[in-house]
Every structure is written in C-alpha cells, then in structure tokens.
Chains A and B, each alone.
Chain A
Amino acid sequence: MDAPVPIFRAHGLTKTYRSGTVEVQALRGVDFQAAAGEFIVILGPSGSGKSTFLNIIGGLDQATSGEAWFMDHELTRLSDAGLTRYRRDHVGFVFQFYNLVPSLTALENVRLVTEIARRPMSPREALAMVGLEDRVDHFPAELSGGEQQRVAIARAISKNPEVLLCDEPTGALDSATGVRVLEALMRVNEAIGATTLVITHNAAIKDLAHRVVRFANGGISGVEENTTRKSPAEVSW
C-alpha cells in the first residue's frame, strides 16, 4: 500500500510579528505533514507558536515565509478572498471560547454554516452527532459551557470539512465536560474522516491521538506516534 496522502504539507514556515520596534518570531521554520483522517494533538507551552501555526494552516493568518499546502492549494499564496473560500469549503474550527452567535439557537448556529457550505450535512444530524438533539432550540446563553462547545463542534463538522482545527477546545471546561467534548471530537473524526488537529496545554489528551506534535520556541521539538490510543473516558485531568 502507498504511504497515506498528506493533506497538509508545510516547509520552513516562519512568522514574525512586528509591533513598533519589537519583533517577535512566533514560528521559526516549521516543517509539518498530516495525513487524511489523522487525529493529531499539538502540545506546547504558551508562546511556543502552536496557535500561530494552526492559524496559518487554517487560513486565518499569513506566513512571513515558507510554504503551506492544503492538498493542491498553496495556502501561503492565497489572497484574502482565496483564504476565505478555503475556510468556507474545507475547514471546521473549534475554539476555546466557542464563538457562537448569541442571537441564534443551537440549530440556527449550525444552519449558519450549512447555508453557505457546498456539501453540508443536515444541521440536526450534526447536533445529534454531538449528543445535543434535545437542545436544538436553545440559545447559547441557555446552554452550559460543554453544551456550547459541542454546538461549536456540530457547527464545525456540519459542512463535512476535510480538516477540523481545534484550539484549546477543552480549555474553558472542567474535566468531565471536557471528556464529553473530546468524545464528540473523536466520534466525528471517525465518522466523517476529517483530519483533526487539536491544540492543547493539557498533556492528558495526548493519549487520544494517532500522533502527538510538540511545539517549543516557535518550532516542532518532537513528534510521537501512539501505537495504542486511549478513549476519552480513560483520561482525566
């Protein structure tokens, strides 16, 4: 069998932020690959560059140099409109603070995305996948943090994305709630086969991944493969 087709490829990615006279090098030449359907956990301390990396391959930010590819799209060459198109068609995002629209119910928050997606699943189906079929008509303010995060996951997967990018998805949640969110993420990863990248501070989560990538000082400091993966119920923090 051929080696799995890489869905992401990055070579020599750098990112320098300039604020006034101060330069901050957030990324210092990152090389990275991810295969289709992989579940990758990215670990690293604050300021190690992991979020910057995720933002660049998620099409939210531009690299200073180097190249990043999503399948045959060279992300580092896309305009703002091209990046918007890329995010719209291929990427599902989950963030630490959910970023739901407060004036829309759970179902409507999902529908917001399915309305503009090319091959969406049904919004109810997406909510069912995260176990929220009974809470579809609730507004975010009426949902717990974990429920809100699961709405965000449903919203992210409802477009049937090729990649699911999660930045600290359990960062604002307690352990039990975090486990339910992780379960939802893993279930989705298996069900739709989306390559999933999860950024976390939380080392306990690394056992769920196919692969663990460690960031430090703006670069990748180590990669581990898990031969056996735990289920979310087996981890805690």
Chain B
Amino acid sequence: MIRLAPLHIKLLRDLRRLWAQALAIALVMAAGVATLVLGVGATDALDRTREAYYEENRFADVFASATRAPEALLAEIEALDGVLDAEARIVRLALVNMPDMAEPGSLLLVSVPRAEGLNRLHLRQGRLPEAGRADEAVVSQDFAAAHGLLPGSDVQVLINGRKRQVTITGIAISPEYIYALGPGDMMPDPRRFGIAWMPHDSLAAAFDRQGAFDDLVLKLVPGASEPRVIARLDTLLEPYGGRGATTRKDQMSHAFLDAELRQLRGMSRVLPPIFLAVAAFLVNMTLWRLITLEREQIGLLKALGYGPWAIVRHYVGFVAAIAAIGIAIGWAAGAWMGAGLAGIYARFFDFPYLIFTQNPRPYAVAALVTLGAAVAGAVGAVRAVAWLPPAVAMSPPAPVRYRRLWGGALERRVRFRQSAVMTARHLLRWPVRTGGGVLGVAFAVAVLVGSLWSFGSIERMIDLTFTQTERQDATLVFAEARPHAALYAVRHMPGVLRAEPERVVSVRLSHGPAERRVGLAGVAEGGDLSRLLDPTGQPMALPDAGVVLSEALADLLTVRVGDEVVVEVLEGDRRVTRLPVSGLSQGYVGLGAAMPLSALNRMLGEGAMISAVRLTLDPAALPAFHAAVKDTPQAGFLSLKSLTLSRFRQTMAENITISTTVYLSLAAIIAFGVVYNFARISLSEQGRELASLRVLGFTRAEVAGILYGEIAVVVLLAQPLGWLIGTGFAVLVVRAFSSELYRVPLVIGPEVYAWASLVVIAAALASALLVRGRINTLDMVEVLKTRE
C-alpha cells in the first residue's frame, strides 16, 4: 500500500473540497490547451501534409503558359541555370455535358504528367490513360464523387468544338488542385468544375498543338533564384505568346492553402494566450484566498519544522494538480476538435492523407505553457506567506483596512444604500483582483465579438459582390478570346435577355518597385451587369481614360488617383504602356483592375475581342439556354450566380456554424470560470459579514443581492471593455484573413455586441445561481461563536 505524506493527503483533500473552483479553472486551462493543440496541431498538420504531398508528387515551383511553344524549346528551358526539371503540357478548359445536371459543367483538360514528371497524380482508383488514347481520361476525385463516376464511366466532353465520348480510366488527386476553383467562381464547386488528365499527345492533337505545348511547369534546384529563372524563362517564351511565369505564391490552390494556414496561425496566436492569462489570474486569485485562510496552518507547519520550500511545493503542487486536469481535458478536447478539423480539411481540400496527431510537440508545448501559466499565477500568492516567521504566520493577519470612496466626497453628495457601499468598497479594496475579473469577463465578451461579427460581414460581402457589383445571372467564359461578333451569337441564344461583353487579359501592373499580376478587365461601356462601386459603396461610372484599381490593389502598389502605373500585357505582343489611375473601386474578391472595353482593345491592338459575356436570363428558358451552351464549341465555363451564391452560403454556413459553436463554448467557459471563482472567493471573504447581516434580519435575497451586486458590477463593467477588445480582435482577424485572394469587410452591427453580452451575462448568471445555495445556507450561529 502506498503511504502518502501528510502534505499530499492535505493536497488531495483540498482538491476535493474545492473541486468546483478547481474544475472551473481547469476548464479555462483546458480551453487554452485545446486551442493551442488545435491551432498549432492543425497548422502543423496542414503544413506537413502539404509539404509531404508536394514532395512526393513533385509539385512544381514555377508555372508558365504560352500560346504555342515548340517542344524543342523545352531542352533550352531545362538547360537554364537553376532548373531541375520541366514539364510541357497542354491545359485547356472544356465544357462537359453531365446527364445528372441541367447546366453545363467544365473540365480543365491537363496533360497527364510523364512518368517521373512534375505535379504527379495520386491515383485513387483505376489506372492512367494509355498513351495515344484520345478517349481516355483520369478525373479529379471530387468531380467523380459529385457525379458518381467510376473507372469505366463515360462522359461527353466538348473538346475544341467537337463532342467526344471520353472513358474514365481512373480517379486521382493532384497537388496542383488541392483547392480546385473554376474560373470566376468564389468557392470550389466540384459538381460544375473538375480536372481531367488526358494523354499529352491526344490533347496536342485535339487542340492542334502537335510538337508544341501551351503550358509549362518547372521544378527548381533547391536554393535557385526564382526571379532569375522567371526572367530567363519569360524571355524564352515571349516569342511564343508567353504570359509571364509565376511562382507558387500565385498558384491558386497553393495560395488558398496559404490563406488557410495564416488564419490558423492567427487563431493559435490569439486565443491560447487569452485563456492561459485568465487561468493564471484565476489560479492567483483562488490560491491567494486559500493561503489567507490557511495562514495559521502554514505557520503551524513551519513551527513543526517544514521549510518555506516545502510550503511552496505544496501549493504549487495543488496548482499543478489543477493544471494537470486542465491539460488532460484540453488534450482530449484538442485531439477531438483536431479530428473534426481534419474532417473539414478532408472535405474542403483534396489531400491523399492528413498527417495529424502523430506530432507530440503541440501537446507538450501546450502542457508546458499551461503549467507555466499556473505556476506563475501561484508564485505571487505563495511567496507572500511561505517566508513569514511561524509566529507571525500563526497570529491572525492585520484586519483589512477599508477606505471611503474618493475620501468620501461622492458619498457626501449622494446617499447610497449601505449594502451598495459595502459592494463598492469591497471591490475597490482589491482593485487588481476586481480589474482582473473585469478583464477576464471582458475577454469572454471579446472572444464572441471577435467571432460573431463574421455573419454580418459575410452578408455585406454577399450583398456587395453578388447584388451590387456582379449583377448578371450567368457569365459565359470562352475557352480563349473571341472576336466581338461572338457576342451576337450569344445574344441569340434562347433565354438571353441581356448580354454584355467583357475581356480580361493578364497584365503585370507596376509602380516603382511594387508590382502585381492581375486580370485587367475591359468592361462594356454603357453596361449595367458589371458595376464598379466607389469606396463609399456608390456605383461609379467608368472613366473613359485610365484604369480603375481596387482599393486593395492600389494599396499594394502604393498608388493614388492620378498616379501612373506601368501596364505590361502578358499576352499577345506583350505591349507595355503607362496608364493613369482614374479611380478606386471597392471589392472583396481578388485584386481588380478595370477599364473600358474599347480602350482595352485599342491598347492591345488586336481588334475588337472579348473573352466572356455576362448575361441576364429568362428563368423560364433556362433548360433551353443550358442546352444551347452545351453545344457552343467556344464556351469554356459557364458561371451561374445563383449556384455560386448558394455554394458560397452553404460552405460559409458550415464553417461558421462550427466555429461559432466553438467560440460560444470558449466564451462561456471563460465567463463561467471567472464569475464562479470570483463569487466563491468573495463569498468566502464576506461570508461572515453576510451571515451577520442575516442575523440582523436581512433576508436571503437581500444578502445574495450584496454578493450579486459585486458580480453585476464586474460583469457590467466588462461589457464595454469586451466590446472594445473584441472589436480589436475583429480588426486583427480581418487582417489575418485578408489576402490578395479575398478580403473581409469589417462590419460589426449592434446585434453582435448585444449577442456577445447576452451570452456572457447568461453564463455569469448560471455561475451566480450555483453560488446561491451556499448563500442560503450561511451558518448564522457559527459566525457568532468565532472570531474572524
């Protein structure tokens, strides 16, 4: 049998006696541990998974496209200093007619990488197409899943104007399309957009590119200079319609993963410190009270010969035991939430595997940091008593001295009830503790304000993007730029009420050292379907001359209205011109630049060309319209606003529901932990006075009112502070979320503050009610018999 040392037995009994307070503290710690494990773990998992996947499948470093480059050029490119490997490909957009879908879908046709090549596929099912087979393809997993396709299924693809029956030989995923977004879409929709890998030769033949390629990916030697390789590559590709090479940073799938990683890192930097700070405060507050109550016992222990370090070890052990409970709960919760998040990733991103939980580091880090916070909270409280001489410790402490508020100036002017004076003086007697309580509850409010605002912001984003800016019902994107006459063909399709042309070209905008690759949109003059909004949100007319930049782009280029930017067209004859910035527009998706269509076409000097048509449609004629699009050889992708929007809402709703539930629980844990401990300690300190008041004839409700008054003051003071801190969090979150891919508007309506306060007040009320039983059973007779 194990014989426990007396101090260990005392420790266990203390824990059992104070279990509710200990648990409340442990839960706050658990929240910190869980968010840390989840944040660090998920970041780590996503990072390592992506890295391993990239490595195994040889994900390229540099991406380039051209109109038609001879295959002979490949040897020259591979010989460039810093290039390890190059893969020439054909990449084309093609419409696909899926029988289970009224509207047309699209497939991005990509050459199957050669054996040992780059961006290798990870086959999930079946086999790769045989070389030379023009009717075989491997399709992306999500697209296959959305349509129930299996190896052996057939799909009808419109390849370069000809309908072809293509047999699926396999189902695969690729590091290049972990996040697969259709052109002009805001959210991946695997039903309407997928990838199909076909033998290079057959694609070359179908698109009249025998002995040539129009897309290129490069793997660089580790440590090679990307800008230097890109400069040399651009020079080589320029004669063949090269559109300027980019790095992974501008690769869509990679960039979205980066944005996700940045959000996760933001979360794991903001949330855990809050919880651990609150936990340290609670530990300090609780231990301070415990030690005050046990002061005589400590003196006795010292008189018996226990040294100060034995006392310190005892109380630090008490705190460490609470921390151990918190860490255990936090580990479990973190692992559980991590598995949930992994599930979300698995649905959202196409990884062949997810490297999660094998890494003990986040667990160890979380445990150490939590233990550190707990001990830090304990040290101050223990130090004050452990070194007192036994005789001093055993004698009762000096009575607590109170002061009048502001020298009594306020009290002389206003007559408060004495119970209110008690409340105020007790709160002010321990300003640090009161301040800590206010700050703790404020953090709970802030966590909610910092997360609940996203509802309103997303509605605003939807309104601005889908109602005010993008006013079309559908956008038909051509596989490549067409003469202006293509507009008339589209206008005559069934159900088309209005059609407005658009041309988007790839350009590099620069101003001084700052430069960005963007799509420069030529917008139909007099059109109404694509509107620009000025920074105040009002529709703006497109100036005849110059270029309108989105605010985000203008910020990146550090330009203002009136400045000139250098426009380097990355298509055709790659002209370089200078254009004045004629206005700034508001927008949350991507980096935008726009100018009148005719001006764009004049600048390009290729005649009147368009690359897409925006349409409004007669809902009654939709089936006929869809059928017509499926027969339009030039069409590459049909983007339907209603589908994009519902997909957007659905994805957002899922993510936000989950994250809101998490944040609500976290806020409730903080509020509950702080208020419950605050109330228990206040009751412990004032129990004698409150019992005396009961003797004097105060009712239970009146006595409870005094304690609740304190809690109410703390909770109410915390509200405005919490709103303020929460708004600060929201600003940080907006910054963390904002990327060049999308930005989030910061909209915090009064309802956000109201909900945050309601939830926290409800949690505070619940913990206050738990203390009520103890107030009701205050022992009146006992207090009369004992000296304090």
Say whether B421 contacts A108, CB under 8 Å: yes
Give complex CA distance A80, B697 in Å: 11
Say whether A116 contacts B786, CB under 8 Å: no
Say whether A116 contacts B784, CB under 8 Å: no
Contacting residues, chain B, for A115 (C-beta < 8 A): 417-418
Give complex CA distance A104, B402 in Å: 8
Given A101-B692, A116-B698: A61 and B402 interface contact (C-beta under 8 Å): no
Instruction: Indicate with 1 or 0, residue by residue over B91-110, a CB within 8 angstroms of chain A CB atoms.
Output: 00000000000000000000
Contacting residues, chain A, for B788 (C-beta < 8 A): 97
**Residues of chain B in range 375-408 having any CB-CB distance to chain A below 8 Å:** 399-402, 404, 408
Say whether A84 contacts B699, CB under 8 Å: yes
Contact partner, B401, options A100, A108, A141, Cβ 8 Å: A141
Contacting residues, chain B, for A100 (C-beta < 8 A): 692
B135 at the interface (CB under 8 A from A): no
Contacting residues, chain B, for A51 (C-beta < 8 A): 785
B332 at the interface (CB under 8 A from A): no
Say whether B698 contacts A84, CB under 8 Å: yes
Say whether A84 contacts B786, CB under 8 Å: no
Contacting residues, chain B, for A141 (C-beta < 8 A): 399-402
Give complex CA distance A187, B429 in Å: 37
A186 at the interface (CB under 8 A from B): no
B787 at the interface (CB under 8 A from A): yes
Closest B residue, CB atoms, query A86: B697
Say whether B402 contacts A112, CB under 8 Å: no
Instruction: Indicate with 1 or 0, residue by residue over A17-55, a CB within 8 angstroms of chain B CB atoms.
Output: 000000000000000000000000000000000010001
B422 at the interface (CB under 8 A from A): yes
B783 at the interface (CB under 8 A from A): yes
Given A99-B688, A99-B692, A103-B429: A60 and B780 interface contact (C-beta under 8 Å): yes
B426 at the interface (CB under 8 A from A): yes
Closest B residue, CB atoms, query A95: B784
A139 at the interface (CB under 8 A from B): yes
**Residues of chain B in range 412-437 having any CB-CB distance to chain A below 8 Å:** 417-419, 421-422, 425-426, 429
Closest B residue, CB atoms, query A87: B697
Give complex CA distance A86, B695 in Å: 10
Say whether A60 contacts B695, CB under 8 Å: yes
Contacting residues, chain B, for A105 (C-beta < 8 A): 404
Instruction: Indicate with 1 or 0, residue by residue over A88-129, a CB within 8 angstroms of chain B CB atoms.
Output: 110101011101111111001101110110000000000000
Instruction: Determine how close the nearest CB of chain B comes to the CB of A116; give it in whole angstroms.
Output: 7
Contact partner, B399, options A55, A102, A113, Cβ 8 Å: A102
Contact partner, B784, options A85, A88, A96, A139, Cβ 8 Å: A96
Given A55-B781, A115-B417, A167-B784: A101 and B697 interface contact (C-beta under 8 Å): no
Give complex CA distance A136, B194 in Å: 86
Contact partner, A61, options B401, B422, B689, B781, Cβ 8 Å: B781
Contacting residues, chain A, for B404 (C-beta < 8 A): 105
Instruction: Determine how close the nearest CB of chain A comes to the CB of B685; give it in whole angstroms.
Output: 10
Give complex CA distance A51, B783 in Å: 13
Closest A residue, CB atoms, query B780: A60
Give complex CA distance A73, B399 in Å: 40
Give complex CA distance A81, B404 in Å: 33
Closest A residue, CB atoms, query B787: A97
Give complex CA distance A139, B700 in Å: 26
Say whether B418 contacts A111, CB under 8 Å: yes
Closest B residue, CB atoms, query A113: B696
Say whether A116 contacts B697, CB under 8 Å: yes
Say whether A139 contacts B401, CB under 8 Å: yes
Instruction: Indicate with 1 or 0, residue by residue over A51-73, a CB within 8 angstroms of chain B CB atoms.
Output: 10001000011000000000000
Instruction: Indicate with 1 or 0, residue by residue over B443-465, a CB within 8 angstroms of chain A CB atoms.
Output: 00000000000000000000000
Closest B residue, CB atoms, query A117: B697
Instruction: Determine how close the nearest CB of chain B comes to the CB of A104; give it in whole angstroms.
Output: 6
Say whether A85 contacts B697, CB under 8 Å: yes
B187 at the interface (CB under 8 A from A): no
Contacting residues, chain A, for B771 (C-beta < 8 A): none
**Residues of chain B in range 683-715 having any CB-CB distance to chain A below 8 Å:** 688-689, 692-700, 702
Contacting residues, chain A, for B702 (C-beta < 8 A): 116
Could you tell me how many residues of chain B have their Cβ less than 8 Å away from some Cβ of chain A?
Answer: 34
Say whether B418 contacts A112, CB under 8 Å: yes
Contacting residues, chain A, for B400 (C-beta < 8 A): 102, 141
**Residues of chain A in range 114-161 having any CB-CB distance to chain B below 8 Å:** 115-116, 137, 139-141, 155
Give complex CA distance A97, B699 in Å: 22
Say whether B695 contacts A108, CB under 8 Å: no
Closest A residue, CB atoms, query B783: A99
Instruction: Determine how close the nearest CB of chain A comes to the CB of B511; give it in whole angstroms.
Output: 66
Give complex CA distance A109, B689 in Å: 11
Given A60-B695, A81-B699, A85-B697: A101 and B784 interface contact (C-beta under 8 Å): no
Contacting residues, chain A, for B421 (C-beta < 8 A): 103-104, 108
Say whether B786 contacts A97, CB under 8 Å: yes
Given A101-B689, A102-B400, A141-B401: A88 and B418 interface contact (C-beta under 8 Å): no
Instruction: Determine how close the nearest CB of chain A comes to the CB of B517; give it in whole angstroms.
Output: 69
Contacting residues, chain A, for B399 (C-beta < 8 A): 102, 140-141
Closest A residue, CB atoms, query B428: A103
Instruction: Determine how close the nearest CB of chain A comes to the CB of B405; give it in whole angstroms.
Output: 11
Give complex CA distance A190, B787 in Å: 30
Contacting residues, chain B, for A155 (C-beta < 8 A): 696
Instruction: Determine how close the nearest CB of chain A comes to the CB of B701; give it in whole angstroms.
Output: 10
Closest B residue, CB atoms, query A81: B699
Give complex CA distance A139, B421 in Å: 13
Contact partner, B422, options A101, A137, A140, Cβ 8 Å: A101
Closest B residue, CB atoms, query A100: B692
Instruction: Determine how close the nearest CB of chain B comes to the CB of A202; give it in whole angstroms.
Output: 17
Give complex CA distance A115, B408 in Å: 19
Say whether A108 contacts B418, CB under 8 Å: yes
Say whether A93 contacts B696, CB under 8 Å: yes
Say whether A99 contacts B695, CB under 8 Å: yes
Say whether A139 contacts B783, CB under 8 Å: no
Say whether B402 contacts A102, CB under 8 Å: yes
Instruction: Determine how close the nearest CB of chain A comes to the CB of B353; give it in whole angstroms.
Output: 62
Closest B residue, CB atoms, query A105: B404
Contact partner, B418, options A93, A104, A167, Cβ 8 Å: A104
Contacting residues, chain A, for B419 (C-beta < 8 A): 112
Say whether B422 contacts A104, CB under 8 Å: yes
Say whether B784 contacts A97, CB under 8 Å: yes
Instruction: Determine how close the nearest CB of chain B comes to the CB of A45; give it in whole angstroms.
Output: 16
Say whether B688 contacts A84, CB under 8 Å: no
Closest B residue, CB atoms, query A88: B697
Instruction: Determine how close the nearest CB of chain A comes to the CB of B228; give it in whole angstroms.
Output: 75
Instruction: Determine how close the nearest CB of chain B comes to the CB of A222; give it in whole angstroms.
Output: 25
Contacting residues, chain A, for B698 (C-beta < 8 A): 84, 88, 116
Give complex CA distance A35, B784 in Å: 26
Give complex CA distance A81, B701 in Å: 10
Give complex CA distance A93, B694 in Å: 11
Contacting residues, chain B, for A97 (C-beta < 8 A): 784, 786-788
Contacting residues, chain B, for A60 (C-beta < 8 A): 695, 780-781, 784
Contacting residues, chain B, for A102 (C-beta < 8 A): 399-400, 402, 689
Say whether B402 contacts A103, CB under 8 Å: yes
Instruction: Determine how close the nearest CB of chain A comes to the CB of B90; give it in whole angstroms.
Output: 84
Give complex CA distance A89, B401 in Å: 31
Contacting residues, chain B, for A95 (C-beta < 8 A): 784
Give complex CA distance A81, B689 in Å: 19
Closest B residue, CB atoms, query A85: B697
3 smallest CB-CB distances across A and B, nearest first, come from: A88-B697, A103-B425, A99-B692
Question: Footprint of B on A, CB under 8 Å?
Answer: 51, 55, 60-61, 80-81, 84-89, 91, 93, 95-97, 99-105, 108-109, 111-113, 115-116, 137, 139-141, 155, 167, 172
Give 8 A-B pairs besides A86-B697, A102-B402 with Cβ atoms closer than 8 angstroms.
A51-B785, A61-B781, A80-B700, A88-B699, A101-B692, A103-B422, A112-B418, A141-B401
Q: List 19 A-B pairs, Cβ < 8 Å.
A: A60-B695, A84-B697, A87-B695, A89-B697, A97-B787, A97-B788, A99-B784, A101-B418, A101-B693, A103-B421, A104-B418, A104-B422, A104-B425, A105-B404, A109-B418, A112-B418, A112-B693, A141-B400, A167-B784
